[in-house]
């Protein structure tokens, strides 16, 4: 798994692999040092982004949610094909990549990596994030999980950047009690592993 500590997208992948007892090795890619733009890495993912999972036969798979889908097939983390529940998982995965991650992950990265950001852009990221949280709250204020009655990859995908949104991203989560209870519930699920214990961020401090 080619991954960057602190990346929620990488965390999702490491988490499902660990949950399913897959053996894997983490290769750190420091995007702050443009290690994702080396010719070798670009052969693995021409889109120059982590995570990338290199399989035993040398083929590579990128896009965190595609990796979640691939590995969760046939497990309790993904509802049966051709069911509405399966489609609802897709709905949340696409929502995560289009409406949630582009605001919440980006604002968090700007803050933790000290990236410059104009006040207008920051306002957009903040408002977009709150809009996404409201969508989640509408489901989670009366349901334990995003789809059905147990954790699916939809929860894992949305958890990744939501659980650090307050601490790292500077979002005020007090208006979302359903999300807060869900975050606590997710941490109680079997096989839960904290982000830092999967992808140790200390390597960044050593730089
Ligand atoms: N849609 C992709 C997004 C991956 C992504 O944005 N990765 C970030 C780290 S979280 C990255 O590699 N950024 C490097 C860059 O854009 O230069 C996924 O879900 O895997």
pLDDT the model gives residue 34: 96
Which residue has the least CA distance to atom 16 on ligand 1? 49
62-94 burial, b if ≥16 CB within 10 A, otherwise e?
bbbbebbbebbeeeebbbeeeeeeeebbeebbe
Q: Is the CB of 31 under 6 A from ligand 1?
A: yes
Centre of ligand 1 from the C-alpha of residue 50, in Å: 5
Rounding to the nearest 10 degrees, give the CA dihedral for residues 125, 126, 132, 137.
170
- The per-residue pLDDT for range 138-157, each reduced to its tens digit, is 999 999 999 999 999 999 99
Between 106-115, 153-162, 197-206, the lowest mean confidence (pLDDT) is in 197-206
Percent of the chain with pLDDT over 90: 94
pLDDT tens-digit series, residues 49-93: 999 999 999 999 999 999 999 999 999 999 999 999 999 999 999
Average pLDDT score over the chain: 96
Mutate which of 9, 44, 157 to test ligand 1's pocket (most atoms within 8 Å of Cβ)? 9
Closest ligand 1 atom to 51 CA: 20
Structural domains in the chain? 2-72 (3.40.30.10), 84-187 (1.20.1050.10)
């Amino acid at each position: 798994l080619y991954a960057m500590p602190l990346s929620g997208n990488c965390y999702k992948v490491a988490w499902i692999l660990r949950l399913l007892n897959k053996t894997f090795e983490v290769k750190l890619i420091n995007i702050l040092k443009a290690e994702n733009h080396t010719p070798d890495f670009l052969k693995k993912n021409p889109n120059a982004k982590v995570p990338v999972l290199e399989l035993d036969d040398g083929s590579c798979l990128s896009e965190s949610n595609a990796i979640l889908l691939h590995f969760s097939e046939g497990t309790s983390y993904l509802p049966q094909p051709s069911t509405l529940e399966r489609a609802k998982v897709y709905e949340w995965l696409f929502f995560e990549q289009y409406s949630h991650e582009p605001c919440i992950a980006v604002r968090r990265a700007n803050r933790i990596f000290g990236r410059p950001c104009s006040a207008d852009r920051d306002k957009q990221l903040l408002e977009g994030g709150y809009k996404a949280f409201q969508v989640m709250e509408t489901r989670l204020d009366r349901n334990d999980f995003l789809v059905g009655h147990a954790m699916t990859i939809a929860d894992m995908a949305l958890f990744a950047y939501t659980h650090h949104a307050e601490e790292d991203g500077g979002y005020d989560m007090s208006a979302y009690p359903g999300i807060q209870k869900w975050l606590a519930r997710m941490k109680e699920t079997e096989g839960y592993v904290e982000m830092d214990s999967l992808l140790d961020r200390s390597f960044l401090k050593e730089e």
